[in-house]
A and B are shown apart, each in its own frame.
Chain A
C-alpha cells in the first residue's frame, strides 16, 4: 500500500475562543474521492482549508503526500515554512471555492493561464494551449475570452475547475462547489467533477449533494462538532448510519 495522500490525526483549530476542529482523524488514499458531510459549523470547510494551509491548524498532525502541511520537522522541532515553501506546497493542491473566486479582471483563459505562467514558469504559448484544452474539456472553449461577470455561475465554476487543474495538482479540494449555484446549473458542475473522478484524481469534496456522494465517492466522512463521527464507504454509511447524529442529519438533507 502506497503512502496515503492525506493523513490527519488529532487536527485542532480554534478561532478565538471557538474551537472549530477538536481532533480530526482521517486518511484519504491516492485516487480516493472523499466527501465531507455534516451540518453547517461542523468544521468541514475549515478542515479543507487547513489541507492547503489557507488556515493554519493549531495542533495535531496533518500531512499531504507524506509532507507536513505548513511545517518542516527537523529532529523534534517543527519549523514553520516560509512564504515560498508554502506556495510550493499549495501549487500542487488545487482548490475550488463555493463562491468561484475567479479573478474578475482577467478573462476565462487568463484565469487559467495565470498560475502556470507565474508559478510554474511555463511559456505563455504552451500555457494558453493547455488552458484551451482544459476549457474544452469542461465545455467552455467558446467562452475563453469572456470575463467572469459575463459567465453564469455554473460556467464560472467550471472555469475555476479548469484553473485549478492547469496546475496539474496531485490533489483537488472542493469547498461546497455547487452551493452558490442555481439548481439547474448544479448538474453541469457535478458532471465535470465526475469526469475528474473517473480520470483517477484524488479529490476531497465538502458537499451537501448526497447523490454525488453516493454515486461518485468511495469515502464518506461525517463531521459534527469538529470531530469525524462516522466514516466509511458511502453505500454503507448513508444506508446504515450507526449514530443518531448522522441519521438525524440525513433525515434533514435527504
Chain B
C-alpha cells in the first residue's frame, strides 16, 4: 500500500454509475414481472353479502370477484394430479432410454469415425450427416409412419429367407417410434460430442500408453476415455437437459408424456395456460435437479486437470459469506 509519510493513503474505489443505472432498470423490470405473477384480475362476477351497519340496518355490500391472473389455484390443483405424474414418469423414461441409446450409439459412431478404415469412418460420417441434417420432428413422424412402407419386418439371412417376422404396426407403437427417432437423432449429436472429447486428448497420452504395451482397446478404456470425459460430460449434461424437453415432441405421436397429459386435461377443461404452467413447473424442477447433478459429475471428472478441485456450492456460499463479512469488518477499520 502506498503511504504518505506515516499515514496510509485512503483508497477510493471506482464508481460504476452506468452499472447502477442498469441495476435500477433491471430492478424495475423484475418488480413488474413479480407483480404480474401475483396479480389478480376481475372475473366479471360480483360477490355480495348482507351486513348490519351502525344504524342497525341490513345493507347489501358488493365487490367484484378476483382471480389470479395465472390461475395459481388451478395450477396447484393439477400439479400433483395422477395423470400429470404418470405423464412425468413417461417423460423421464423417454429421456433416460433415449439418452442411453444416444450415448451408446454416439460412442460407437465416434469410434468408427476415428477409425483409419474408410469403410468404418465413411458410414459413421453419413449417419451423423443424415440424422443431424434433418429435423428431429420430421424423423419422429417418419418412424411413427414407417409401417406404411414396411408393413412387415423380417429377421433372417440378409437378402435370403426370413426366419422370423413381425408386423411393423405392432412394433412401432407411438412409444417405440419416439424412442427410435429421438435415440437415433441423439446418437448423431452425441457422436460429435464424444469425438470432440477423444480428439482433445493429447496424442502423447496414447503414445505413452502404447509404449507400455497397452492394447488399442485398453488405451481407449484406461487412458483416452477417462480424460475425454472431462470434455464430454458438460455438453452431455446439456444434451440430457435438452432431451428432457425435446421428449415433449413425442406428444405429437400420441405418447402420453407430461405435456400430452396436460393437453388431455385442458382439452376437456379449457384451462390451457394453467396446465401449460403445470407442465413447465415439472420441467423446471427436473432440469434444476439435473443441473445440480451435472455440477458434481463435472467436478469428479476434473480430477487431475485442475490443481484444486472446485468448491461445492455450499463451500462457495460459506466462502462468500465469510468474504462479505470480512469486507464489512475491514471497512469499519478492524484488521482481519
Contacts and interface: CB of A to CB of B under 8 A. Distances in A.
Q: How large is the interface on A (under 10, 10 to 19, 20 to 34, 35 or more residues)?
A: 20 to 34
Interface string A99-114: 1011111110000001
Nearest to A104: B304
Nearest to A148: B304
B210 interface: yes
Contact of A115 (B205, B213, B306): B213
Contacts of B223: 103, 114
B172 to A, nearest CB: 41
A97 to B, nearest CB: 6
A154 interface: no
A91 B219 CA distance: 13
A71 interface: no
Given A106-B304, A149-B304, A90 B204 contact: no
A118 interface: yes
A101 B305 contact: no
Contacts, number: 80
Contacts of B305: 104-105, 149
Interface string B186-205: 00000000000000001011
B211 A95 contact: yes
A95 B307 CA distance: 26
B229 to A, nearest CB: 8
A119 interface: yes
Interface stretch (A28-36, A80-88, A199-207): A80-88
Contacts of B205: 101, 103-104
B306 to A, nearest CB: 7
A54 B212 CA distance: 11
A249 interface: no
Given A54-B207, A118-B218, A118-B222, A105 B303 contact: yes
How many chain B residues sit at the interface, stated as a range, is 20 to 34
A160 B211 CA distance: 12
B327 to A, nearest CB: 31
A93 B205 CA distance: 17
B280 interface: no
Contacts of A163: 208, 212
A91 B212 CA distance: 5
Contacts of A114: 212, 214, 222-223
B216 interface: yes
29 contacts: A54-B207, A54-B210, A84-B215, A87-B213, A87-B214, A87-B215, A88-B213, A90-B210, A90-B212, A92-B213, A93-B211, A95-B208, A95-B211, A97-B208, A101-B202, A101-B207, A103-B223, A103-B227, A105-B227, A105-B230, A105-B303, A114-B222, A115-B213, A119-B212, A148-B304, A149-B304, A150-B307, A164-B212, A167-B212
